[in-house]
Amino acid sequence: MLTGIDWIIMIVYFAFVLGIGVALKSYTKTSSDFFLAGRSIPAWVCGLAFISANLGAQEVIGMGASGAKYGISTSHFYWIGAIPAMVFVGVFMMPFYYGSRARSVPEYLRLRFDEKTRGFNAISFATMTVFSSGISMYAMAKLIQTLHVFDAPFQKMGLPLSWVFHAGILVAAAVVLAYIFLGGLSSAIYNEVVQFFLIVAGFLPLVWLGLRNVGGWTGLKARLDPSFTHSWIGMGSAHGNRLGVEWFGLAMGLGFVLSFGYWCTDFLVVQRAMAADSMSAARRTPLIAAFPKMFFPLLVILPGLIAIALPTQSSTTVAAVHGSAVVAPEGTGLIPAKVDPDTGAPVRDSEGHVQLDYDLAIPNMLLHYFPTGILGLGLTALLASFMSGMAGNVTAFNTVWTYDIYQSYINPKATDQHYLWMGRMATVFGIGLSIAAAYMASRFNNIMDMLQLVFAFVNAPLFATFLLGMFWKRTTGHGAFCGLLAGTTSAALHHGLTLPVGAASGIKGGWLATLHTYPSEMAQNFWTAIFAWSACFIVTILVSLATRPHDEGRLSGLVYSLTEKAQSRDLAWYQRPEILAVVALAIALLLNIIFW
Amino acid sequence: MRLDIRLPLGLLFLVFGFLLSGFGLVSDKGIYQRSLHVNINLWWGLVLVAFGIAMLALVQRSYRRLSRNESSAESHTKSTSAPE
């Protein structure tokens, strides 16, 4: 299937990635160079890295899968699930992150609150990044194994095909390790920018060919049930739309709690803005990111929709079972039925319907439309997105480990050179742990649903802590810490007491008892987040009022009412955060109306 | 920024563009059945070449601007040193 030209493209890309690492090595002399890119990156580069760091397995494969499963309403993950939060973090929160000179999000928590709040956040965050990077790696290895695109060289060398999986994990890990080890955050950011353009270059022709094939957006609409092509119609009740969520759960759970929890507090993305060369560049970072972000549904969700709309192809329903190929039952469009890898039998839901392997929507689109040549480019874009998703997690991990765990609790008085060395070591063992996580990750179905779950427990309460911490000076460290504990606990409790309809109790919820049944897993996730956030918000306020307030002098630069407002009047209009924010929100609103 | 990202980016896309469009010229027309009979390698390769050239032109322009600024601002050298 792949020919020489595809291999050349992939090898050229890998050589460039490593070359960037080598070129940046000579600039990486201090720990600040390694962990913060020397705070020297221009706004547009940070902005593209800001979205690329999030553009891993979850985004490309997961969003294509959701596009095929839920239709255009998947774009809620962008238009209300990202844009408002990105605007908010740029306009309102960045002055405190960047202005406080904190080197990480947990460090901001120490400056604003206390040691225990930072410790709680640093340890849970470090664990989560290792886990996410492992999932990214696992998803990539599984995908290249399923696609059989790399089988030929292994067969030629007489190696069993299961080695494709192991080789995928090891090669991705080695490349990411090499470029981060050499150039640290700068290297990760540069590669994220390259990867951003690569994704566009690989997917734009795919969407163009797909749309041309089905007769444009009108042709696509004619082929699909209307529930696929509207994002808001039917949101009145959970049973009227494909997501299985009602508008309130969507707006509050996704649009407010999950989205703000991720884009405003997750160090993985905030780190990209902290690397900016000035306060105004840091504030513009998420705002610049918002513009390409809102058009990404066209690149990643539309291929999923096209894949489900095409006539069913029997040739795509081939699955790997113990390294040999068997013909699986019919799928829908380009999407094959899901097959149990051990028995070769199709996976059925509780009502006996054959389940589809939605994660193959985008890969099968690439294989369907792309001849050799551009196929190499498309696969390279896919590999790049997996690697940068991993790299984003690894750079966030090595920073939090070194500054917030190692320097704070293990070895506080070492030299800067020692911390630089520790950062490189953290990169090595972070990737080692990710590999372990990758091998553990094989039990879960839709990657995105699971990431959302982990995310809801750890991140959902966090935004309440930041909101109160930044905008209410009375919030205390004890309040924040108790709030976070209460939030995470109530997320776990809520998950343990509810179940999505048709699911068995266990990983999907209901492991304590089943008090309530949600119409879908997504609805359950959104409501878990809403409960976590509310519990954290209320407990933080109550405990803060009952404990001694912080000294106001110490809070200057950390809290809204005690900080001088960032001035943007001497900037050109297109550089002013407020103007960029209004334009971004207006375009996002327009997109919602167009795809109503 | 110590290394202008547009330089490696432009070079990479230039190489990709030349590879794809070159392959598009010599490849067998039969393989384009799947891409709806569009020689996608040739056309998309040319788009990538154009993008690569645009990036390199931007790098060129910023170098020229930088050297002009440096020669005109020789007297107050401190202003160009990067903030921490």
pLDDT level of residue A257 (50, 70, 90 thresholds): confident
Q: What ipTM score was computed for the predicted complex, to two decimals?
A: 0.84
Question: What does the alpha-carbon distance between residue A67 and residue A446 come to, in Å, rounded to a whole number?
Answer: 13
Which of B32-69 are b and which e, b meaning 16 or more Cβ less than 10 Å from the residue's Cβ? bebbeebbbbbbbbebbbebbeebbeebeeeeeeeeee
Chain B residues with beta carbon closer than 8 angstroms to that of A368:
34
Which one of A1, A3, A5 makes the best mutation probe of the B interface by having the most chain B beta carbons within 10 Å?
A5
First to last CA, chain B: 12
Q: Which amino acid is at A400?
A: V
Whole-angstrom Cα distance, residue A97 to residue A50?
Answer: 15
Question: Which of chain B's residues have a Cβ under 8 Å away from the Cβ of A205?
Answer: 40, 44
Contacts of A186 in chain B (CB under 8 A): 2
Q: Is the pLDDT of residue A582 over 50?
A: yes
Flag whether residue A16 sits within 8 Å of chain B, measured between CB atoms: yes
Q: How confident is the model at residue B79 (pLDDT cuts 50, 70, 90)?
A: very low
Write out the two tokens for A49.
Answer: 């890295």
Q: How far is CA B32 from CA A46, A363, A371, in A?
A: 38, 18, 6
- Average the pLDDT over each of A117-131, A152-166, A394-408 and give the range with the smallest value: A152-166
Minimum Cα–Cα distance from B81: chain A residue? A40
The verdict on a CB contact (< 8 Å) between B40 and A278 is: no
pLDDT of residue A22 exceeding 50, the answer is yes
Measure in Å the smallest separation between the Cα of B76 and chain A Cα atoms: 21
Contact state of A39 with B84 under an 8 Å Cβ cutoff:
yes
Which among A5, A27, A194 has CB closest to B2? A27
Q: Is the pLDDT of residue A356 over 60?
A: yes
DSSP B24: H
Hey, what domains does chain A have and what are their CATH numbers?
A: 4-217+258-318+357-443 (1.20.1730.10), 447-564 (no CATH)
pLDDT at B72 over 70: no
pLDDT of residue A324: 43
Q: Which chain B residues have a beta carbon less than 8 Å from that of A277? A: 1, 82-83
**Tokens 């991705």 sit at which residue?**
A172
pLDDT at A314 over 60: no
Nearest by CB to B40, which of A20, A213, A374? A374
DSSP string, A375-394: HHHHHHHHHHHHHHHHHHHH
Average pLDDT, chain A: 81
> Chain A to chain B, count of Cβ pairs less than 8 Å apart?
95
pLDDT in tens, A450-507: 555 666 677 778 889 988 988 888 888 898 999 989 998 898 888 888 888 777 776 7
Residue of A nearest to B34 (CA): A369
Residues A76-124 pLDDT 10s: 888 888 888 889 988 888 888 888 888 888 888 888 888 888 888 888 8
